[in-house]
């Protein structure tokens, strides 16, 4: 059963419009979460704002946002002033620009969402927009109010549906040239390059979601299960082996790695 959509509206391209529903493509609902408790009473602990100087508690009506302009000097902003900046929540993804699919770099991608038709009548229009982007190998660019801010969004075809990505703001993305261009250019050892290519081929496999599972969460669940049954908790992870300091010839190391991979393959 598919989860309930958290946004409903319209997808529009020129005169073609169709109702759509959107659901986040990622979830943290399965994460193990904890409450903070008072060890003596077993009651939950609640957080509260306190004055950093007097230590006294601050009521909700007395809390105000401040932008620092100097030491212990702030520009105060009232909620009414901030609310005035909010844009009215739009319910239309109006695609007014298209770009080659490969031209939007991964660093701009923020949060993915599944976009599906929300009415049988609109399936044909939805399919036309989706298939036209597939045929031209393009993505659609638009703007939409999400998570209380207007954001640039990108729409790309995916199977029978669409994926909408919120894009990062320009001031959030660092220029890769400031970091990657500082790496010293060096021609790799030809033998090492050949050997590591063989090693990659030995270890190449198809991607599986199981490769991204969280082993720490598995251990937490084991510990929780053990405490529920009033038995000893599961043992923790073994400490990582100490890092070796000796430098090994890379070609020799790669040869040994490939030999080990081959022996393992024959054994299997």
E strand intervals along 128-224: 138-146, 149-158, 161-167
74 φ, ψ (degrees, to nearest 5): -135, 150
Separation of alpha carbons 150 and 148, rounded Å = 7
pLDDT at 62: 87
Look at residue 1 and tell me whether its pLDDT is greater than 70.
no
pLDDT digits (tens, 9 = 90+) for 198-252: 999 999 999 888 888 778 877 877 777 777 776 554 455 555 555 555 445 667 7
Walk me through the domains of the chain, giving residue ranges and CATH numbers.
Answer: 7-27+86-172 (2.40.290.10), 190-267 (no CATH)
pLDDT at 149: 81
Q: Is 139 helix (H, G, I), strand (E, B) or coil?
A: strand
Look at residue 156 and tell me whether its pLDDT is greater than 70.
yes
Look at residue 268 and tell me whether its pLDDT is greater than 60.
no
pLDDT at 88: 53
Radius of gyration over every alpha carbon of the chain, rounded to an integer in angstroms: 27
Which is higher by pLDDT, 88 or 18? 18
Beta bridge partner(s), residue 139? 99
Separation of alpha carbons 51 and 53, rounded Å = 5
Look at residue 55 and tell me whether its pLDDT is greater than 80.
yes
């Amino acid at each position: 059963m598919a989860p309930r959509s958290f946004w409903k509206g319209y997808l529009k391209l020129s005169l073609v419009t169709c109702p759509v529903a959107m659901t986040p493509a990622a979830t943290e609902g399965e994460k193990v979460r904890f409450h903070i408790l008072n060890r003596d009473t077993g009651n939950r602990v609640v957080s509260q704002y306190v004055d950093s100087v007097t230590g006294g508690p601050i009521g909700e009506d007395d809390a105000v946002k401040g932008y620092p302009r100097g030491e212990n000097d702030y520009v105060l902003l009232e909620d009414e002033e901030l609310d005035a900046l909010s844009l009215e929540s739009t319910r239309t993804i109006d695609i007014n620009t298209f770009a080659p699919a490969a031209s939007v770099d991964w660093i701009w991608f923020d949060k993915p969402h599944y976009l599906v038709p929300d009415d049988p009548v609109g399936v044909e229009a939805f399919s036309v927009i989706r298939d036209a982007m597939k045929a031209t190998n393009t993505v659609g660019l638009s703007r939409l109010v999400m998570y209380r801010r207007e954001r640039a969004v990108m729409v790309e075809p995916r199977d029978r549906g669409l994926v909408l990505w919120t894009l990062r703001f320009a001031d959030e993305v660092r220029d890769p040239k400031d970091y990657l261009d500082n790496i010293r250019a060096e021609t790799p050892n030809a033998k090492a390059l050949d050997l590591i290519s063989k090693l990659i081929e030995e270890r190449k496999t198809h991607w599986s979601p199981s490769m991204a599972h969280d082993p720490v969460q598995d251990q937490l669940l084991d510990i929780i299960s053990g405490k529920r049954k009033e038995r000893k908790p599961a043992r923790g992870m073994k400490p990582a082996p100490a890092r070796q300091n000796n430098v090994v010839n890379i070609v020799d190391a790669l040869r040994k790695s490939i030999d080990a991979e081959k022996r393992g393959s024959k054994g299997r």
